[in-house]
Amino acid sequence: MTSPSPTGVPHLLVGVGGGIAAYKICEVISHQVKAGWEVAAILSETAAQFITPLTISTLCRQSVYTDQDFWHSQAPRPLHIDLGEWATLLLIAPLTANTLAKLALGLADNLLTSTVLASKIPILVAPAMNTTMWEQPTVQAHWQQLQQQSRYHCLPPLYGRLACDTVGVGRMAEPTEIIAYLDSLAYTQGRRDLAGKHLLITAGGTREYWDAVRFIGNPATGKMGIALARAALHRGATVTLIHGAIAEPIPPQVTAIEAIDSESMLQAVKKAWPEADWLVMAAAVGDVRPAQQWSGKLPKSELPMALPLRAVPDILQMAAQMRQPHQRLIGFAAQTGDIVTPAREKLERKGLDLIVANAVDQVDCGFGTVENAAVVLDRRGRSRSLAKAPKLILAHQIFDLAQEWLT
């Protein structure tokens, strides 16, 4: 092994536990290698019963380490020390009940657990097991112990049908959530600077229906709002997400509230805002709604050629009027052309602490895109341009500025 790259390329060490969910880790390894990460893997003795070393080594582009390498190594330095110094992040997935117990108690009797104790890097764990096993008091006690240790970042198992045909909690977190958490950890290095804060985030586009199937809406997909929710969650915050129409899965640890039209979103924000510390209003709320609504679907022959409109409620204005001294308001402004001038005006008019202006007329930025760029402004006249980046990384950059400017 070589030392971590001076260019900052993440060095991910993956510990694969013994369980049927081991196959899911292939997608994670493949994705991170394609993203330019250096990836190495430790395959436990039981994991090799579910997935072959050849599969993992092919995806990693290097040999897989096993306990046989640990006990019979002829290298000048102990393998677990070498691996612990090489890695910048450690993922253990699937995490078995056996390995969970060892981690919680600080035991080290194999290559993986010895490497854990020989390093200080952030560790992401994703358990997977039968529901009855997961619900055992000892397993739950070990799970709680692990969450109290700051270097461990924990993705709890999901509810669903398991390989044993049980329906319950025990499914390993999906690869997309594991990948997103790894990307966050590579950015934050495991810091939890939003711990103790409750963030209320809105996402997606609103739809104002004028009959059962037709509505006034916009192209928002919720990708930016959900990226903000993920980033906040990964930095230790409690997150409530109020969303309109979205085309992105919501992290299971987020409390999600659906609010498809502007009035529903207003009422949901009004109810949740008093218990939150920050409101991040990333939803694309429409400006108008039909003055009249029809029940059922109107026949094409009866469609009105003119549709009277009226303004929708101003959610940010309501939130500003309700705010308490400790609360912070962050708004978004999707613009074309000059994005800064109207964003600055909105910041001042609505009494926001921070506003994020983004262009929706630029290639590969704005609605529905994987990446975005922005200009962040605050009420003291400061501004910072954020170059185009994946929306999760942009979300972290926004929170970096919010932490710097608002606390």
Show which residues are catalytic: 164
Rounded Cα distance between 237 and 303, Å, is: 47
Helix (H) or strand (E) holding 38: strand 38-43
Structure tokens, 196: 């103790």
Cα-based distances in Å from 109 to 71, 106, 115: 11, 10, 10
The Cβ of residue 151 has, within 10 Å, a number of other Cβ atoms equal to 13
The Cβ of residue 310 has, within 10 Å, a number of other Cβ atoms equal to 10
| C-beta separation of 227 from 246 below 8 A | no
| The residue count for the chain | 407
Which of 370, 368, 362 lies closest to 391, judged by CA?
A: 370
Q: C-alpha 72: how far from its chain's center?
A: 40
Residues in Cβ contact with 348 at an 8 Å cutoff, skipping those fewer than 6 apart = 379
